[in-house]
Structure 1
Amino acid sequence: MTNCIENNNFIETAKCVDCKTCEEVCTIFQVMGKYSPWEKVQVAKEILNNHLKPENWETVFFCNKCEACAEFCPEHLDLSKIIDESRRLIVQKWGIQYPRQEMVIKNIFNTGNPFGREERRFNWITNYPKESKILLHLGCMMTFNLRNMGKSLINVLNKLKIDYTISDDEFCCGYFIYNTGDHDSAQKIIEKNKSYFSKYNKIITACAGCYTFIKQNYGLEIPIKHVIEVIDEKLNSEDIDISKLKDKEIIFHDSCHLTRPHGIIKPPREVLKRLGFKLKEFERNENKGICCGADGGMRIINPEFSKEIGKFRLQDAKNKAEILLTLCPFCMQNFQDCNESYGIDITIGNIFKELENILR
């Protein structure tokens, strides 16, 4: 052991009692028949003892970090922390990275986003308040890949007269890099953004991944809210009646980042009910929900496998409703890609677009 972090996570691995309950709830294991949480614990012990077998290093990267295993684990083993530390040690001690990970890190430092897009970040948005001490951190996915989702959100915030601003100084939060195991590079991004965030009194995030990473890793002394919390609070405080739908059935997919670490479960459902939707639920929902397949760096190292995981969630949704809604851009992107690749033929939507339509 070389530091207290490694020691703490080695102690965490010792909690495992080999019951393998985790295998029943891990989507990666269900799809591939390997890389179960239990296997990851065994490999983590190899890594933390400095005896990593060459054929085993990939095991800790085939993880969505959705934390479903921890939710069902009788010992409440925090595998996400073990995965983070294992990946860090693989990079630090053995210098191993996927080529696609190296490309993403280079893109972020060169352009401020993982996609290598060089245009001005918000050249597609004009109708936003220019002066505010409350910053909306939109996130890379919505800014570059899901701009229609971003436009809907901006229109909703404006319609509800919610105080916020955005800035072209926005930079990737560093979560993409952190998931590669290169924590030193991620820390450089954190320090850069902390200086930028210091100009504001409050941060609102639109991306579930950004929300969790900033909240858990930045150590900010200002409030950090997810935008669905802000919207829900606004609708409740002013008793705005926006219910215009009649028995339109939808099924809602929870973001792993919002439910398990932070308990953000009621706000999206309250907004959907206020919209007038007839809300249906997955058998595994809320804090026990199933991952879309995109997170934990999986879309970077193996996008096809990410879609394979997402397919099972979409097929389940298709059996229950004609429309699936989410509020996470990662989930939205992966489900759209799954729908196109596998022809599941279910409508994929987001809460912000539905709210925008009703507020017109």
Structure 2
Amino acid sequence: MKFEKLVEDEAFICAQCNFCRVCPAFKHEDWESASPRGRIYLIKSLIRGEIKPEDLDEEIIQDFFKCTTCGECEVVCQTEIPLIDVWEKARASLVKEGFILPAHKRIGEAAKKTGCPYGEDRSRDWWLDFEVSEKAEVAYFAGCTATFRTVEIAKNTVEFLKKAGIDFTYAKNDEICCGSPLLRTGQREIAYEFFKKNYEEWKRRGVKKIVTSCSGCYRTIKRDYPEIAKELGYEWDFEVYHVSQLIHELIKSGELRLEKLNKTVTYHDPCHLGRHMKVYEEPREVLKALGADIVEMENNREEASCCGAGGGVKAQFKELAMKMGIDRISEAEKTGAELIVSCCPFCKLHLNQAAEEKNSKLRVVDLIEIVNQLL
């Protein structure tokens, strides 16, 4: 099997130690094949020809894809292997060989058909209550989850941008999935097509700065898109912000006047915003500016526990994803907080479902919801 050079080079640096057993999937599955070390062993065996692609059975492939790509293994890796990239590129190689899980295949087919991994074919601006500029230097990228599953996040974001006096454009039905779910599940060709469409739309609208309220979209547009642009020969000259970073800047400059949030909260670091993109302090600084009493969970910042939904795990392995989500809710309950605050539509969706499954009184709210209501 032909792997990308990064995967080949990095796989053989691995010391096969035990540190990467922090993996949340391994904690629940307890099989070596579901651990980062087990995945590296499989990659090495395929590269060396010790295992042939035709020898791979369904169980081995499923275990390889039980990774949420959260990056906890990368934090503890003693040889500093960029494991997130390794997992994603290895998945792309497996998909090219025809090893794609049923739920991931459905996501890809739905995305190709509707431009949305959820398969939604209704208007993407069904929730928008007012007109926005057709062209502007700032674009709001809502993303699929905030558009079709946690619409309150999209609504609060555009209301916030209006209140803050920011002239912005929103592509409405011309917006298409950023491609994050496809990149994470190894379906890179579809993601590349989505890149082209979004890129061309931003150029048509005169966009220079992109703001998103989704951590997955932020990671994809900020980190993956410049690499894809270089690979395809596109010029990449956009600034990309998560809305929490924009709020933080406006607070520091004195441009926002906010009421106080008199609540005890704990902050959940989304994997794509935190470990993937190193955005840890800005959301916390915003909460401090609101006067919130922040109590940290035992695992926070680069050691934060994954909610369990990412990397295609929620789509294919619902029970495993739920177990991870319940773990995080249990951790939050120990803080005594009234609310869990996060900055990711997918985290909010999944953790609220986990709280309901656990019969917990805790609920998750997105930072933009709080800020918009107190502005």
Bin of the TM-score, shorter chain as denominator length: over 0.9
Task: Select the residue among 111, 114, 131 that pairs with 2:114.
Answer: 111
Cα distance in 2, alignment partners of residues 48 and 164 from structure 1: 48
Cα distance in 2, alignment partners of residues 281 and 232 from structure 1: 20
> Which runs of structure 2 are paired with 1:185-196 in the superposition (5 Å)?
185-196=190-201
What SS does structure 2 have at the residue aligned with 1:62?
A: coil
Cα distance in 2, alignment partners of residues 48 and 174 from structure 1: 28
> Which residue number in structure 1 is paired with residue 231 of structure 2?
none
Code of the aligned partner of 1:194: Y
> Which residue number in structure 1 is paired with residue 266 of structure 2?
251
Task: Select the residue among 6, 9, 12 that pairs with 1:11.
Answer: 9
What SS does structure 1 have at the residue aligned with 2:294?
A: strand
Cα distance in 1, alignment partners of residues 44 and 237 from structure 2: 35
> Which runs of structure 2 are paired with 1:115-264 in the superposition (5 Å)?
115-131=118-134, 132-168=136-172, 169-199=174-204, 200-219=207-226, 220-238=236-254, 240-246=256-262, 248-264=263-279
Listed one character per residue, the Cα deviations across residues 197-253 of structure 1 (whole Å, up to 9, x for unaligned) are 22311111211111111222222221111111111111211253424234x211000
Code of the aligned partner of 1:184: E
Deviation at 1:285, TM superposition (A): 0.8
Cα distance in 1, alignment partners of residues 256 and 179 from structure 2: 37
Task: Select the residue among 28, 51, 60 that pairs with 2:25.
Answer: 28
Query: Are 1:47 and 1:89, in contact at CA under 8 Å, matched by a contact in 2?
Result: no
Question: Which deviates more from structure 2 when the two are superposed, residues 332-341 or residues 153-162?
Answer: 153-162
> Which residue number in structure 1 is paired with residue 65 of structure 2?
61
Code of the aligned partner of 2:117: P
Listed one character per residue, the Cα deviations across residues 28-71 of structure 1 (whole Å, up to 9, x for unaligned) are 11122121111111112233345244232223211011111111
> Which residue number in structure 2 is paired with residue 337 of structure 1?
353
Structure 2, gaps ≥5 residues long: 227-235
What SS does structure 2 have at the residue aligned with 1:242?
A: coil
Task: Select the residue among 261, 284, 297 that pairs with 1:269.
Answer: 284
48 and 191 in structure 1: CA distance in 2 versus 1, 3 angstrom threshold: farther
Cα distance in 2, alignment partners of residues 240 and 186 from structure 1: 36
What SS does structure 2 have at the residue aligned with 1:203?
A: strand
Deviation at 1:112, TM superposition (A): 1.3
Code of the aligned partner of 1:47: L
Question: Which deviates more from structure 2 when the two are superposed, residues 279-288 or residues 46-55?
Answer: 46-55
Query: Are 2:91 and 2:186, in contact at CA under 8 Å, matched by a contact in 1?
Result: yes
Deviation at 1:149, TM superposition (A): 2.0
Code of the aligned partner of 2:47: L
Cα distance in 2, alignment partners of residues 37 and 106 from structure 1: 29
What SS does structure 2 have at the residue aligned with 1:325?
A: strand
What SS does structure 2 have at the residue aligned with 1:66?
A: coil
What SS does structure 2 have at the residue aligned with 1:256?
A: coil
Cα distance in 2, alignment partners of residues 150 and 96 from structure 1: 35
Deviation at 1:337, TM superposition (A): 1.0
Query: Are 1:194 and 1:218, in contact at CA under 8 Å, matched by a contact in 2?
Result: no
What SS does structure 1 have at the residue aligned with 2:341?
A: strand
Deviation at 1:182, TM superposition (A): 2.0
Q: TM-score, normalised by structure 2?
A: 0.90
Listed one character per residue, the Cα deviations across residues 96-144 of structure 1 (whole Å, up to 9, x for unaligned) are 2122212111111111111111111012102353242211111100000
Deviation at 1:344, TM superposition (A): 2.2
Cα distance in 1, alignment partners of residues 255 and 368 from structure 2: 18
Cα distance in 1, alignment partners of residues 324 and 284 from structure 2: 24
Q: Does 1:45 align with 2:71?
A: no
